[in-house]
Structure 1
Amino acid sequence: MFSSLYTVFSLLSFVIRVIIISLYETSRKWLFKIDPDAFPRIPRHVTVDNLASAKDISEIAAANGYIIREHVVTTRDNYLLVIHKLEKRDSSSSRTNSRRPTNTKLESKVAYFHHGLLTNSELFLLGSEKNKNLPYLLVDLGYEVWLGNNRGNKYSRKHLKLSVSDKRYWNYSLDEFALYDIPDTLNYIKSFYSYDKSCKIIYVGFSQGCSQLFASLSLNPTLNDSISLFVGLSPAIIPRDLNHTLLKVIVNQTANDNSFLYSLFGERAILPSVSFWCWLMGPELYQLVVDQSLQFLFGWSSKNISPKQKKVGYSHMFSNSSVKSIIHWFQIISSRRFQMFDETCNIGLSGLSTLSHDSKLTTSRVAPFPISHHLDVPMVLVYGDSDILVDIESTKDLILSQNSIMASKLLETIGCPTYEHMDTLWGDTVYETVFKKVIEYMENSHLYEDDRFYDRKEKETVNGKADVYLQKSNFILI
């Protein structure tokens, strides 16, 4: 009898061990997402391969010794946005900390990152080396770091009433990003630090992440009071002329008729199967295809980005957005105006729309985002001299026209020789060329809240640069 029980017990034990071993990796990842602090800190050698093959932002951060906390923002139009809080993994931390600040006597240094078009929050953590990831550097300096996501992308595909299969879900453009996603996200983050009444946010945007803030501030002027500094990396507001003739034809055709792009891609998501193609091709072939596509469409040489950086970056670079948001950009490029979405979309180069009412043609002008009237935040803009998606002179004109306040609050525009669009995130020299300067401005962001800073800057700054003020010893608040 005992031998029979022993045999049954041994067999059962063997089966359980096989199940545990076979499902170990799956169960470990699942439990890690539920409670990262339950796992001891195990140093891991970071390689290009394990970054490229990471399934999500939690795995990317974990490979570098950090953890991700997920938060859900409900927008006023019922979209559910997942945003990520990045934290340093600390073996001495308890399971209860890091959920919400416990030391309510300290001022919070909060930085928020927002991605560009057709990407997601992973974008800022894809540097092949640690010093090519600005969020990690800031966490190590004691900042509270958040990374946002637009509606419809990999992390934000939920709605309280609509399914992603419903084309109404995808009926959004830059207008909705500006009206809802940005202000609702920033207000959520501010509420997280409600104990600190003086808490302001340093906003770091990349590409469309910059234009979203510009548009949002123009439509929500009170949001200016929530931001202590805006850092714009490759600020795509009004792109320069496109290189490729085919792309120009598509842009102009779409700007004249919304249905053109809808007939090609439908009225829902664009790039819905990008992860499938990445998996099917494998990292090396996928990297080659993306490289050649960017060269073909935009003339990018990508010579400042190493092959290993491309392998990591391209594997996670793309994410869903609406076809309508692409059409919106084509309208902006064609009209050369940073304007709201034109629903009628018979648009000429002057930004005029032709509408038909009972067989009569009338003309109306599409409303621009009123940036020049409502912008009031200190800012630093970083761009590549070889970036065709950034027209820095037109951007400065847009910021400064009819706005005397911004003449002093545009602290610096940093041009990076030979840099293209992605280089302000992934360039081989990005730490020395971009991040060191940006961090210096961030560390002194408290100075920009005093009006006397701008009084002195207006009198003494040469060529519009604020470098002389970036040492705390040079500017003492009395």
Structure 2
Amino acid sequence: MSVLSSLLNIFALIIQLPLLLFHKLGIEQYLSTFHPIFNKPDNISTSSSFSFYSNSNPSSTSVINDETDPLEKLQQKIITAIDIVDIVHAHGYKVHEHIVQTKDGYLLSIHRILPPSGDIPQSSKIVYMHHGLLTNSELFLLGENTNRCLPFLLVNLGYDVWLGNNRGNKYSRKHLILSSTDEKFWDYSLDEFAMFDIPNTIDYILQITKQQNLTYIGFSQGSAQCLAALSLNHDLNEKINLFIGLSPAMIPHGLNNPICSFLVSSAPALMYRIFGKRAILPSVVFWQKLMGPKFYQEVVDKSLVFLFNWKSGNIHPSQKKVGYPHMFSPSSVKSVVHWFQIIDSKRFQMFDEGGASGSKLVYLSGASTKTNRVASFPTQTITTPCYLIYGESDMLIDIEKTVQNLSCDVETLGLKGYEHMDTLWSTNVEEAVFNKIINKLKQIDTKTA
């Protein structure tokens, strides 16, 4: 056994030890079925009178009291929130949870944000928002105050707002047949998000609301998923009147350090050897608790610099304090491998299973590119108009290649000095991003009136 192989085995053991404990002790399966009685969505009845802040977290009474500043009180509630229900309620709004069954058997929880009255919107103006890689529907509700959460601004303007979730994340760990402890449950990539999660969710929302189309707002991978779905499903183009991409990932430039660059250019087998074939980041909450909020924030900041050279200079420390505890959610290792393949090939392509039936002789001969050429997502067939908002300092966004891969009507807005997360969390996000989106939505409303 070579020295490199030995080092990889040691590294893999360190990385996978918490994962092995989760799987072997059944902790993961337990957590996926545990639904506390104090955080039911507003469309789920309960006889309990439990209150999250007065019962589930007794220590919070020492932090949140009548003398606490209202903004600080709100932020503390968000930080200690268990899930999206607690976050939405902290802001004074209501939330309904719906379950979408995909055609391949996954059960996805999606969230409908309602006004404080709890009245179900009768509006024909539907906005569907989808998160990025390794996150979930909470992402759009993590502004440090209510005005810095786009869904609440849209609800106030009369829009019917829905937030989606990918298979495998915090809210979508169920399947009709498979258990989340099975490797097969995690055998998905961007392909499945595009073929099932996005179109099946949009069909469900349009069926419930009895509308013909909606506006789609995606962040990062949430943009890529929709573009991929639109390219594979021509009928979907008629169901989305406008696609808005925030930090729209399609063909990233690459990563910021040689270690990650090595992983990008390596065979998928190396990633699977290090991280396994199930979930990536399944134990993030464990590490959060172990590190404590201050050290955890420092680790996240340094990791973002290490991976992407994001300095986060446009994001206020109080925003990080609110957002970082809820920022990450599990996904499959395969979905990360898929992005590495896209970066390495410089093509927005479907997942490459290996080609030539995985023959090692093909790779040894150097003929792999001739025997296998995985198809790109046919984004030139998209007809839905696109509005792309991106940071000019975001190394994950290659806006020129993105626009070149689209033949539909495309409008772009580049924000000087902005990085990836800034389109959600920058100190001037309301003026620079949210107001632009609202104005664009009003244009759509005027055309359809």
TM-score for both structures, normalised by structure 2 = 0.82
Task: Give the partner amino acid of 1:131.
Answer: N
Question: Does the C-alpha gap of structure 1 residues 37 and 121 become closer, same or farther in structure 2, counting only changes over 3 Å?
Answer: farther
Paired residue secondary structure (2:292): helix
Alignment of 1:332-351 (within 5 A): 332-344=342-354
Question: Does the C-alpha gap of structure 1 residues 442 and 355 become closer, same or farther in structure 2, counting only changes over 3 Å?
Answer: farther
Paired residue secondary structure (2:395): coil
Q: Which residue does 2:205 correspond to in 1?
A: 189
Task: Give the partner amino acid of 2:201.
Answer: T
Q: Matched residues in 1 for 2:360 and 2:130: separation? A: 36
* Cα displacement string for residues 109-144 of structure 1 (whole angstroms, at most 9, x for unaligned residues): 100000000000000000002221110000000100
Is 1:300 equivalent to 2:310 in the alignment?
Answer: yes
1:356 CA displacement: 5.1
Q: Matched residues in 2 for 1:177 and 1:132: separation? A: 28
Q: Matched residues in 2 for 1:284 and 1:359: separation? A: 48
Question: Does the C-alpha gap of structure 1 residues 58 and 291 become closer, same or farther in structure 2, counting only changes over 3 Å?
Answer: same
| Kept after mapping to 2: 8 A contact 1:354/1:364 | no
- Structure 1 unpaired stretches of 5+: 1-25, 347-352, 401-405, 450-476
Task: Give the partner amino acid of 1:259.
Answer: A
Alignment of 1:34-433 (within 5 A): 34-35=44-45, 46-90=73-117, 97-98=119-120, 108-194=124-210, 196=211, 199-253=212-266, 257-344=267-354, 363-372=371-380, 374-400=381-407, 406=408, 409-410=409-410, 412-433=411-432
1:245 CA displacement: 1.6
Q: Matched residues in 2 for 1:300 and 1:205: separation? A: 20
Larger C-alpha radius of gyration, 1 or 2?
1
Task: Give the partner amino acid of 1:266.
Answer: G
| Kept after mapping to 2: 8 A contact 1:32/1:38 | no
Q: Matched residues in 1 for 2:224 and 2:171: separation? A: 21
| Kept after mapping to 2: 8 A contact 1:378/1:448 | no
Q: Matched residues in 2 for 1:51 and 1:251: separation? A: 35
Q: Matched residues in 1 for 2:172 and 2:363: separation? A: 41
* Cα displacement string for residues 416-469 of structure 1 (whole angstroms, at most 9, x for unaligned residues): 1110000000000000101101100011114556xxxxxxxxxxxxxxxxxxxx
Q: Matched residues in 1 for 2:219 and 2:343: separation? A: 18
| Kept after mapping to 1: 8 A contact 2:38/2:48 | no
Q: Matched residues in 1 for 2:170 and 2:209: separation? A: 27
Q: Matched residues in 1 for 2:220 and 2:178: separation? A: 29
Q: Matched residues in 2 for 1:358 and 1:266: separation? A: 23
Question: Does the C-alpha gap of structure 1 residues 398 and 27 become closer, same or farther in structure 2, counting only changes over 3 Å?
Answer: closer
Q: Matched residues in 1 for 2:323 and 2:337: separation? A: 25
1:67 CA displacement: 1.3
Paired residue secondary structure (1:399): coil
- Structure 2 unpaired stretches of 5+: 1-35, 54-65
| Kept after mapping to 1: 8 A contact 2:127/2:216 | yes
Aligned length: 392
Task: Give the partner amino acid of 2:220.
Answer: S
Task: Give the partner amino acid of 1:276.
Answer: F
Q: Matched residues in 2 for 1:359 and 1:286: separation? A: 43
* Cα displacement string for residues 51-93 of structure 1 (whole angstroms, at most 9, x for unaligned residues): 1111000101111011111000000000000000001122xx6
1:47 CA displacement: 2.8
| Kept after mapping to 2: 8 A contact 1:344/1:355 | no
Q: Matched residues in 2 for 1:31 and 1:414: separation? A: 36
Paired residue secondary structure (1:251): helix
Identity %: 51
Paired residue secondary structure (1:47): helix
RMSD between aligned alpha carbons? 2.6
Q: Which residue does 2:438 correspond to in 1?
A: 439
| Kept after mapping to 2: 8 A contact 1:36/1:67 | no
Q: Which residue does 2:5 correspond to in 1?
A: none
Paired residue secondary structure (1:382): strand
TM-score for both structures, normalised by structure 1 = 0.77
Q: Matched residues in 2 for 1:448 and 1:379: separation? A: 16
Question: Does the C-alpha gap of structure 1 residues 299 and 73 become closer, same or farther in structure 2, counting only changes over 3 Å?
Answer: same
* Cα displacement string for residues 346-379 of structure 1 (whole angstroms, at most 9, x for unaligned residues): 9xxxxxx98757998662211000011x201122
Q: Matched residues in 2 for 1:305 and 1:259: separation? A: 37
| Kept after mapping to 1: 8 A contact 2:42/2:94 | no
Question: Does the C-alpha gap of structure 1 residues 379 and 345 become closer, same or farther in structure 2, counting only changes over 3 Å?
Answer: same
* Cα displacement string for residues 30-51 of structure 1 (whole angstroms, at most 9, x for unaligned residues): 5967349998x99976432221
